[in-house]
Structure 1
Amino acid sequence: MTDNDKGPRDDRWYLNIMAPNTKGDKFAWLDPTSIYINQAAFTDLLDDLLADLEGVEYDVVAGLDAMGFVLGAALAARSGVGFLPIRKAGKLCVDTDKVSFGNYSGRTQDMEMRTPAFAPGTRVLLADQWVETGGTMDGAIRLVERQKGKVAGLVAVAIEENERTNEYRKSYPCVAAVVQGSRWQTECNAQTLSSFDSYKPELAFPV
């Protein structure tokens, strides 16, 4: 698929192929993994995020368990920096630091980061698939800052607008494929997309 096929580069066409939740309230309200399955979509997503990250300096990308691993590792590889996984508690076999946080479903969970993970002053870009309530991201920020790292910015497919994420935007560079002021942002804040009406899994199938 070429730029001419999908229109202007800022149309974020790949957001149209995200899947709605079909399993109920205990799951996230949509699934962006169809973007990762489709090579053209994934490439354009990364291109857009990296373009918007221009001027943001970071030494490592940290991905939040679990789907932040996909986006974070891809961004790290494209940026020529290392990747640091921030994991759910009990998964790492090395010394760790642990924090508790409230996730999007309202449950309290623990997450861990290896210690030491980096030298003091290391600039860490935090990546997650979606920032909804901001609880998971808050845990990651605390883990990085405990090791005297500097949070260089936050990156995601989407960052919803609410009191906590608005504070993030004031404190850090925040980059998302869903751009503030766009109709995508309005729909994401309402947790429904107009593209769901015409969604078909085949739209994301690899060619």
Structure 2
Amino acid sequence: MTLATKGPRDDRWYLNIMSPNTKGSKFAWLDPTSIYINAEAFNDLLGDLITDLSDVEFDVVAGLDAMGFVLGAALAGRRGVGFLPIRKAGKLCVNTDKVSFDNYSGRTQDMEMRLPAFAPNTRVLLVDQWIETGGTMDGAVRLVKRQKGVVAGMVAVAIEENDRTTEYRANYPCVSAVVPGSRWQKECNSQTLSSFKSYKPNAAFPQTRRQ
């Protein structure tokens, strides 16, 4: 299927099919999973991120619970490295290390990583679906460093701009489908996309395969 909204490869066309929040303030302000369900969109997203990661060396990808699992595992497969889940507290059935963090909604949560997860000096790429306040990512950074790992970089569909994420960009390679300085970045910072005006759920429908 070729989408009518698709533009040039470097236009990050797939960002146009992300879904606006329809369930209220307790939820994130948009949902990128409409990219994942569309094969063309998902593959172009992964291709762009892998290209932008070409100069970043890492030994394992760590995905943040829960939607970072989708993006992180896919990137790990593309790059040929292993995948490590960083989970909400109480989900892992092995020994764990735990930290508390404040998520995008301001709620305090705990998350865990298996203990041990890797050898000292292992380069870990941290992946989440979206980095809004940066609080969840901060917890992941602390977990990696406590096991003497090296944070190799950070990846997300978008990294909103604020004091904490500015610090991340200064200290780590940070890659996002939303390119800093683009109109997408400005719209993400304001938490509303111009594409919402013409959003249609069926733009992301996967192509059906009939025998």
Q: CA deviation at 1:101?
A: 0.1
Q: What letter is aligned with 1:138?
A: D
What is residue 6 of structure 1 aligned with on the other side?
6
TM-score normalised by structure 2 residue count: 0.96
For residue 7 of structure 1, report the CA deviation from its aligned partner.
3.2
How much does 1:169 deviate?
0.2
1:188, 1:15 → 2: CA distance? Answer: 11
- Does residue 45 (structure 1) correspond to residue 45 (structure 2)? The answer is yes
> Following TM superposition, where does structure 1 have runs of at least 4 consecutive aligned residues deviating by more than 6 angstroms?
none
2:58/2:124 contact within 8 Å kept: yes
Q: Which residue of 2 aligns with 1:196?
A: 196
Please give the per-residue CA displacement for 1:138-183, whole angstroms capped at 9, x wherever unaligned.
0000000000000000000000000000000000000000000000
The answer to whether the aligner puts 1:58 opposite 2:58 as a matched pair is yes
Partners of 2:172 and 2:8 in 1: how far apart?
28
CA distance in 1, matches of 2:184, 2:6: 17
Cα deviation for residue 45 of structure 1 reads: 0.1
In structure 2, what is the Cα distance between the partners aligned to 1:156 and 1:44?
14
Shift of 1:43: 0.0
**Distance (whole Å) between structure 2 residues aligned to residue 205 and residue 8 of structure 1:** 20
CA distance in 2, matches of 1:182, 1:10: 11
Between the aligned partners of 2:13 and 2:120, the Cα distance in structure 1 is 40
Does residue 96 (structure 1) correspond to residue 101 (structure 2)? The answer is no
1:16 paired to 2:21: no
| Aligned mates of 1:45, 1:6 — CA distance in 2 | 13
State the alpha-carbon separation in 1 of the partners of residues 135 and 29 from structure 2.
16
Instruction: Please give the secondary structure, in 2, of the residue aligned with 1:6.
Output: coil
Partner of 2:186: 186
Counterpart of 1:152 in structure 2 is 152
Q: Give the partner amino acid of 1:57.
A: E
Read off the aligned partner of 1:21 and give its amino acid letter: N
Report the Cα offset of residue 77 of structure 1: 0.4
The unaligned stretches of length 5 or more in structure 2 are none
Residues matched between the structures, number: 206
Query: Identity of counterpart residues, as a percentage?
Result: 82
The equivalent residue for 2:163 is 163
Distance in 2 between residues matched to 1:59 and 1:122, nearest whole Å: 6
Counterpart position of 1:31: 31
Residue 10 (structure 1) shift: 1.0
Q: CA RMSD in A?
A: 1.2
Alignment of 1:63-142 (within 5 A): 63-142=63-142
2:6/2:14 contact within 8 Å kept = no
Matches of 1:6 and 1:15, distance apart in 2? 10
User: Aligned to 2:112, what secondary structure does the other structure show?
Assistant: strand
Cα distance per residue 1:42-67 (max 9 Å; x no partner): 00000000000111000000000000
* Partners of 2:117 and 2:191 in 1: CA distance: 35
Equivalent residue number for residue 206 of structure 1: 206
Per the normalisation by structure 1, the TM-score is 0.98
Shift of 1:9: 1.5
